[in-house]
A and B are shown apart, each in its own frame.
Chain A
Amino acid sequence: MSKEPPITRYTRTAIALHWLVAFGILGAFSLGLYMQDLPISPAKLKLYSYHKWAGVTILLLVLARLAWRATHPPPPLPETLPVWQRRAAQAAHHLLYVLLLAIPVSGWLMSSAKGFQTVWFGVLPLPDLLARDKALGDLLALVHRSLNFSMAALVSVHVIAALKHHFLDRDLVLARMLPLHRKRPGT
């Protein structure tokens, strides 16, 4: 049939960082939802710490991703893709990066405002960028929550779009980000 486009894939590093961040945010998001309604207990204090450690780790991984992306351009989208889809994809990816940075930072700021410093793995203290302020802490909690639900919605669109490319359009958009080299489905 038609000629296959050349297989262009993300670099191994980009793929590794993408999936580390993906599972990281899935874990931190689920933990965040679960832990907030727990009655206060040692377990709750531990989970909050783990969540904050995960958040800082994700922030660092995202910074690494951005640095990597700046020096390693991603493979181009299929030429068959309509312009509006290209633009939508670009906007969605930019917004995802913004959220990936804004969410851990909002959590960090919220912790500062609530008077609980973030100490990465209990070892490396992050500076408190805000003084303790209850009202500001509550506001930042709302911001953190809203950003998270925005990201959950956007990640859903991201996943649905990737699956649509793979199973309906049968192109290589998803395959180029999969850790194992896959051939085009159906060939």
Chain B
Amino acid sequence: MRTSTWLTLLFCLAGGSAGAAELGPVLTDRSKLSFVSRQMGVAVDGEFRRFAATMRFDPAKPEAGRAVIEIDMASVDAGAAETNEEVTGKNWFNVKQFPKANFTSNAVKAMGSNRFEVAGKLTIRDKTRDVVAPFTMTQQGGFTVFEGALTIRRADFGIGQGVWADFDTVANDVQIRFRLVAAGNK
């Protein structure tokens, strides 16, 4: 409840900063939000199938850029039915109590050519952490594509508790990869 009003407020703020170039909406069916965990030293891919993203970004004025991403945690696909059941459960995402995770940017800076860096707050479960993610912006056909990755530590967010708390089977580091596709060119 509290989170959603907060998000609404941010959406309004994002929409309200007049003058910044308008991108079309983020096309979630063309976008991808995935992650790579390491189980027994082996990289295992997963992804979130449902999420919503709102972005404003003008490469000429990157510092005015904004992004808000809300992830439906129950839409996780961690590779197998029994794994999905486990990761949505209490020890991991606990989707009953924490159905959404979200990321809200608070600063974007240019890193040269088409590379940028976004800093913001990532909230998963009841934990919020500052994160920084490098990304690139490219024009692909009639679309603008933002692509990047960041590595988080699952323990920072209380992901994987109880028997999963130590890192000898599932590593602490988890890489999050995003590819956000917006209609229109910038």
The answer to whether A40 and B41 touch (CB under 8 A), given A45-B170, A46-B169, A114-B80, is no
Within 8 A of B (CB), among A94-150: 114-119, 122-123, 125, 132
Q: Which among B41, B42, B86, B164 has the greatest number of chain A C-beta atoms within 10 A?
A: B42
Q: Residue A49 at the B interface, CB < 8 A?
A: yes
Q: A122 and B41: CB pair below 8 A?
A: yes
Q: A42 and B168: CB pair below 8 A?
A: yes
Q: Could you mark each residue 36-79 of chain B with 1 if its beta carbon is under 8 Å from any beta carbon of chain A, else 0?
A: 00011111110000000000000000000000000000000001
Q: How far is the CB of B174 from chain A (nearest CB, A)?
A: 15
Instruction: From A40, A117, A123, A132, give the contact of B82 (CB < 8 A).
Output: A40
Q: How far is the CB of A166 from chain B (nearest CB, A)?
A: 42
Q: A45 and B39: CB pair below 8 A?
A: yes
Q: Which among B40, B45, B166, B170 has the greatest number of chain A C-beta atoms within 10 A?
A: B40
Q: Residue A41 at the B interface, CB < 8 A?
A: yes
Q: A42 and B163: CB pair below 8 A?
A: yes
Q: B44 and A116: CB pair below 8 A?
A: yes
Q: B80 and A45: CB pair below 8 A?
A: no
Q: B170 and A42: CB pair below 8 A?
A: yes
Report how far A42 CA is from B165 CA in the complex, Å: 10
The answer to whether A42 and B169 touch (CB under 8 A), given A114-B79, A115-B79, is yes
The answer to whether A122 and B42 touch (CB under 8 A), given A40-B82, A40-B86, is yes
Task: Return the chain A residue nearest B86 by Cβ.
Answer: A40
Q: Residue B161 at the A interface, CB < 8 A?
A: no
Q: How far is the CB of B175 from chain A (nearest CB, A)?
A: 15
Q: Residue B139 at the A interface, CB < 8 A?
A: no
Instruction: From A40, A115, A118, A122, give the contact of B45 (CB < 8 A).
Output: A115
Report how far A69 CA is from B85 CA in the complex, Å: 48
Instruction: From A40, A41, A42, A117, give the contact of B42 (CB < 8 A).
Output: A117
Report how far A115 CA is from B166 CA in the complex, Å: 23
Q: Residue B83 at the A interface, CB < 8 A?
A: yes
- A residues less than 8 Å from B83 (CB atoms): 40
- B residues less than 8 Å from A116 (CB atoms): 39, 42, 44, 79
Q: B40 and A49: CB pair below 8 A?
A: yes
Q: How far is the CB of B142 from chain A (nearest CB, A)?
A: 29
Q: A41 and B163: CB pair below 8 A?
A: yes
Q: How far is the CB of A181 from chain B (nearest CB, A)?
A: 42
Q: Could you mark each residue 41-65 of chain A with 1 if its beta carbon is under 8 Å from any beta carbon of chain B, else 0?
A: 1100110110000000000000000
Report how far A48 CA is from B44 CA in the complex, Å: 14
The answer to whether A46 and B40 touch (CB under 8 A), given A40-B86, A115-B79, is yes
- Seed contacts A42-B168, A116-B39, A123-B41; 11 additional CB < 8 Å A-B pairs: A40-B82, A42-B163, A42-B166, A114-B80, A115-B44, A115-B45, A115-B80, A116-B79, A117-B42, A118-B42, A132-B45
Kindly list the 8 A-B residue pairs having the minimum CB-CB distance in the complex, ordered from nearest.
A122-B41, A42-B169, A49-B40, A115-B79, A119-B42, A45-B169, A40-B86, A40-B82
- Residues of chain B touching chain A, judged by Cβ–Cβ distance below 8 Å, are 39-45, 79-80, 82-83, 85-86, 163-164, 166, 168-170
25 residue pairs bridging A and B, Cβ less than 8 Å apart: A40-B82, A40-B83, A40-B86, A41-B163, A42-B163, A42-B170, A45-B39, A45-B169, A46-B40, A48-B40, A49-B42, A114-B79, A115-B44, A116-B39, A116-B42, A116-B44, A116-B79, A117-B42, A117-B44, A118-B42, A119-B40, A119-B41, A119-B42, A122-B41, A132-B45
